[in-house]
Chains A and B, each alone.
Chain A
Amino acid sequence: MGVLTRNIDLFVHHFANTLKLFAVSGIASLLLGIFLAMLRVSPVPVFRGAGTLYVTVVRNTPLTLVFVFFVFAYPYLEIIKFEFFTAAVVALSLYTSAFVCEVVRSGINTVPVGQAEASRALGLTFTQMLGSIVLPQALRSVVPPMVSTFIALLKNTTVAAGFSVREAGAIRDALSELGEDTLTGMLWVAAIFVLLVMPLTYLQRVLEKRWSVAR
């Protein structure tokens, strides 16, 4: 307990950054992931190809390498300068969106083809059909794998510690510099992660319950 209470400011500060990383890249990867899924089911072959290429490249690359690119290689391209935090958000979002895309796409595949046919027969455009009919039903059917993807994202934020972002993954190093017992510190970090994931699990249960009626 001593390690935690003596360094409570450090824990709070680092975990606050973890949550910030999670919130910003969570929203970004959800939006980008849905957009990628729309590309992958598009009637236009070029869009489908672009979506498939993105998922293949990004999903098959280790997260650390995506970080390496944005922290070390990307600055040489001299496009826009990122801070470390922003670079971490970009890396996490681009990486997670590939997984979100595949979750959404599997959801789209569960929606009966008749739903799309009825929308088309009524004169809805492709985007209207996706937005009003197919995606809402697709998202309802993929709550558990989607929540798993976000739990993975929450824990993946710790990779940012290796790239100068002071989040939960950096707590061990900080404690070590202070001469604290790092092993106990790590156990506390693990315990806090378990607590942080719980609301996500709860959210999953609530959404599953609410949306089970509609189908």
Chain B
Amino acid sequence: MTAASTPPMIRMAGVDKFFGPLHVLRNVQLEVPKGQVVVVLGPSGSGKSTLCRTINRLEPIDSGVIEVDGQPLPAEGKELARLRADVGMVFQSFNLFAHKTIIENVMLAPVKVRKTPASEARKTAMELLERVGIANQAEKFPAQLSGGQQQRAAIARALAMKPKVMLFDEPTSALDPEMVQEVLDVMTGLAKDGMTMLVVTHEMGFARKAADRVIFMSDGEVVEDSTPEEFFSAPKSNRAKDFLGKILTH
């Protein structure tokens, strides 16, 4: 396949965003081809979560272009809802629907948005819960699950929409240390299955093992864009060296 016939899954060009006087994204250029796993690293406040959230327009941008699978992001409305249905998102705080059981959480969007018959949606939901290893928790409410189980349920909920691309916004940052691995395992499995993923994380192990590419952000800019080996062994910029120095020493 040539580059012309397949547009990148995500394309950001000249993206700028401000929070009041704060310039959180500075002229961001990024193309993520289909099937690639991109890990976004950077110190807190560097704009990496904002970057992730602009891709399905949870944060609108002030200038520039964002395209998903060749489609520019439409304005808020039905068309944007359709596009979001194809973009899975996993949040730091899980955001499972508190008043619904785990299986209902996973079934909801396929039934409401895709108009899948409930019986079929339930079957798919159970398979997904099986895949993330929490089928036995299907009838419980989110508050009755551990953080790791909740995040795996949230991944299943996103996958139920059969998304073209998955966005992860610090998926393990709110987890107790012993639960981080079970979530990362699910994500590594997804990466192996060829899912296009953009992962904002602090998990260097995951970046080394599962990423095809590492983006390093600082002060709203993409400072480095390289392979994990390159980034971890020979970072080019001082900001990346400084960042790695701080996190890898202990």
Contact = CB atoms under 8 A, between A and B. Distances in A.
Interface in B153-171: 154, 157-158, 161
Interface stretch (B105-113, B125-133, B179-187, B239-247): B105-113
B97 A121 contact: no
Interface in A135-170: 136-137, 140
A123 B141 contact: no
Nearest to B57: A120
Instruction: Report, as a range, how many residues of chain A touch the other chain.
Output: 20 to 34
B95 A123 contact: no
Contacts of A114: 91, 93-95
Interface stretch (A27-35, A54-62, A125-133, A187-195): A125-133
Instruction: Report, as a range, how many residues of chain B touch the other chain.
Output: 20 to 34
Interface string B88-101: 11010111111100
Contacts of A112: 93, 95
B98 A215 contact: yes
A121 B89 contact: yes
Contacts of A43: 76
A143 to B, nearest CB: 13
B207 interface: no
A115 B97 contact: yes
B98 A122 contact: no
Contact of A115 (B78, B82, B85, B98): B98
Nearest to B87: A121
A124 B141 CA distance: 21
Given A43-B76, A213-B141, A122 B99 contact: no
A213 B140 CA distance: 11
B56 interface: yes
Instruction: With a 10 A CB-CB cut-off, give which of A115, A118, A121 has the most chain B CB atoms.
Output: A121
Contacts of A215: 98-99, 143
Nearest to B92: A114
A114 B92 CA distance: 10
Nearest to A131: B112
B141 A137 contact: no
28 contacts: A43-B76, A114-B94, A114-B95, A115-B95, A115-B97, A117-B95, A118-B89, A118-B154, A118-B157, A121-B58, A121-B84, A121-B91, A122-B84, A122-B85, A122-B108, A122-B113, A122-B158, A123-B81, A123-B83, A123-B84, A123-B86, A124-B109, A128-B112, A132-B108, A133-B97, A136-B99, A214-B98, A215-B143
Interface of A: 43, 112, 114-115, 117-125, 128, 132-133, 136-137, 140, 213-215
Listed from nearest, the 4 A-B pairs whose CB atoms lie closest are: A123-B85, A118-B95, A114-B95, A122-B109
Given A117-B95, A121-B84, A121-B91, 15 more contacts: A112-B95, A114-B91, A118-B96, A118-B154, A120-B58, A121-B158, A122-B85, A123-B83, A123-B84, A123-B109, A124-B112, A124-B113, A128-B113, A214-B98, A215-B99
